[in-house]
Amino acid sequence: MSNEFSAKFQCINGCSQQFELSEILYRCPTCGDLFEVQHDMDKLKKKSSEEWKALFESRYRKHEWPYGSSVWGKKELVCPNVESENIVSTYEGGTNLFWAERLGKQIGLNDLWVKQCGMAHTGSFKDLGMTVLVSMVKQMIADGKNIRAVACASTGDTSAALAAYCAVAGIPAIVFLPKDKVSLSQLVQPITHGITTLSLDTDFDGCMKLVQEICSKENIYLANSMNSLRIEGQKTISFELAQQFDWGTPDFVVVPGGNLGNVSAIGKGFKMMYDLGIIQKLPRLVCAQAANADPLYQSYKDGFNSFKPQRAQKTLASAIQIGDPVSVKKAIRALQAFDGIVEHATENELANAVGRANRTGLFCCPHTGVALAALEKLIQRGEIKSSDRVVVISTANALKFTDFLYNYHNNSLPGVESECAFSSIDLPADYNQVRDAIFKAID
Ligand SMILES: *Cc1c(COP(=O)(O)O)cnc(C)c1O
Ligand SMILES: [Zn+2]
């Protein structure tokens, strides 16, 4: 029975009171700070690391509900409090760990891997956390809690994930999007699932304020990552990486950061495996920000002594155009615990990093470009060595960002000098002209 294990909400500042995961609370009533999900580690430690690994391997991508999902295959470490019949899953996780041999050689690494988290049901890694949150909501509704709907503010991918999971479960949802700041595909995703889609004349930070107010006053459940249930799902990125390296640990994990839930989630996942003896070593974490929205980078430069929210400037990496990240404290703690680094990338750097990577067969979104550009800088500075095993977290599927790619290859992105401009060749259907064009291209 899963109920032999248990997890509760506890404030990140250690205020003593714990709360059930089924309580509708997002912040500590004593100090107002965020919660994190605290697992009963003593119970988890009763199983040996060998037993855990064998259990996870036996479930991985198999049929038995819900354990074939790589999130729910680690249910005891993720969210033991939900009954399997209430789990809302699209068989998430288990994404490809791509050996980027050619790109690695070009940028000076022998052991570069790209974790293809965008190869997911809704095309981004947000599915990993959303399956946990929506499952818990379904459990709460089954237990008689009065929840009319679930809502989130989003830069595009959270709303797509919330919409899909609520549509699977038949739970009403509302998404708050900043007008003209998400891609057409991201706007279409909640619409096609029949989810109430609000396009507001503000930025992400403005949407965030409004959705928090609505959720605090109405019986609407908040699905943003300040709700730490989502962090529990996102941390399975680390479980999966260890598993895919046959329970080994890479030297560095590079992830793009906006609201900063994910960098802390990745840290939490590795720490938990380490405490259970499943892995023997912790990686170093790198958080990569767009230079146009880089409050964490500025804080890092100051030794994390201060943190100043920004008004985020427009960036091609629209999912991380966030100036006032909700999980900043968690992120700073994770980076300090994992000997972390924060780096940033300009529009020109992130776009050309995508251009170079895609020439080697990858298919990257602009956020993955931020991570790759940051990685290139760290290699150039010698902070990452050619022999280090590095994983870049690719956070979304580039098919959501075809406008960006099209404009990049046409060299028509403002502030970007496209180093890999490349476009289709328009020709009449004439043998000689086609042959001449081919040999001009491949010579
Ligand atoms: C959400 C998101 C991120 C950033 O994650 P945070 O937890 O907000 O830092 C990066 N890339 C993509 C594509 C995202 O959707
Ligand atoms: Zn507190």
Q: Ligand 1 — pocket residues by CB below 6 A?
A: 124, 126, 157, 225, 256-262, 319-320, 365, 367, 395-396
pTM for this entry: 0.97
How far away, in angstroms, is 145 Cα from ligand 1 center?
A: 30
* 328-337 vs 261-275: helix crossing angle, rounded to 10: 40
pLDDT at 436: 97
pLDDT at 3: 54
Query: How many CB atoms are closer than 10 A to CB 8?
Result: 17
Atom of ligand 1 nearest to the CA of 255: 10
- Summarize pLDDT for 352-386 with one digit per residue, the tens: 999 999 999 999 999 999 999 999 999 999 999 99
CB burial of residue 157 (10 Å; 0-12, 13-18, 19+): buried
- In the predicted model, what is the mean pLDDT of residues 268-276? 98
How far away, in angstroms, is 248 Cα from ligand 1 center?
A: 25
Indicate which ligand has the atom closest to the C-alpha of 320.
Answer: 1
Ligand 1 site-directed mutation target among 255, 395, 400, 401, most atoms within 8 Å of CB: 395
Atom of ligand 1 nearest to the CA of 287: 9
- Summarize pLDDT for 73-129 with one digit per residue, the tens: 999 999 999 999 999 999 999 999 999 999 999 999 999 999 999 999 999 999 999
Atom of ligand 1 nearest to the CA of 331: 9
Q: Indicate whether 149 pLDDT > 70.
A: yes
pLDDT tier for residue 1 given thresholds of 50, 70 and 90? very low
pLDDT tier for residue 236 given thresholds of 50, 70 and 90? very high
Secondary structure class of 437 (helix, strand, coil): helix
pLDDT tier for residue 4 given thresholds of 50, 70 and 90? confident
Mean pLDDT score across all residues of the chain: 96
Q: Indicate whether 253 pLDDT > 60.
A: yes
Indicate which ligand has the atom closest to the C-alpha of 36.
Answer: 2
CB 193 within 8 A of CB 121: no
Strand order, beta sheet including 252-256 = 97-99, 111-116, 389-394, 252-256, 284-290, 341-345
Atom of ligand 1 nearest to the CA of 259: 8
- The partner residues of 196 in beta bridges, in order of sequence, read 174
Q: Please, which contacts does 167-174 make with residues 24 or more away whose CB atoms are closer than 8 Å?
A: 167/193, 167/194, 167/195, 168/88, 168/90, 168/134, 169/88, 169/134, 169/137, 169/138, 171/134, 171/137, 171/138, 171/141, 171/147, 172/148, 172/196, 173/149, 173/223, 174/149, 174/150, 174/198, 174/220
Whether the ω angle into residue 80 lies within 30 degrees of 0, i.e. cis, is no
Ligand 1 site-directed mutation target among 182, 259, 372, most atoms within 8 Å of CB: 259
Indicate which ligand has the atom closest to the C-alpha of 10.
Answer: 2
- Summarize pLDDT for 173-219 with one digit per residue, the tens: 999 999 999 999 999 999 999 999 999 999 999 999 999 999 999 99
Ligand 1 site-directed mutation target among 116, 128, 157, most atoms within 8 Å of CB: 157
Identity at 439, one-letter amino acid code: F
CATH number of 97-123+231-409: 3.40.50.1100
| Secondary structure element (H or E) that encloses residue 431, with its range | helix 431-442
Indicate which ligand has the atom closest to the C-alpha of 27.
Answer: 2
Angle subtended at Cα 324 by Cα 319 and Cα 328, rounded to the nearest 5 degrees? 95
Identity at 58, one-letter amino acid code: S
Report the share of the chain in percent with pLDDT over 90.
98
Q: Indicate whether 2 pLDDT > 80.
A: no
Look at the block and give the residue holding tokens 């943190």. 307
How far away, in angstroms, is 135 Cα from ligand 1 center?
A: 21
Q: Please, which contacts does 304-310 make with residues 24 or more away whose CB atoms are closer than 8 Å?
A: 304/332, 304/335, 304/336, 307/332
Angle subtended at Cα 248 by Cα 72 and Cα 334, rounded to the nearest 5 degrees? 70
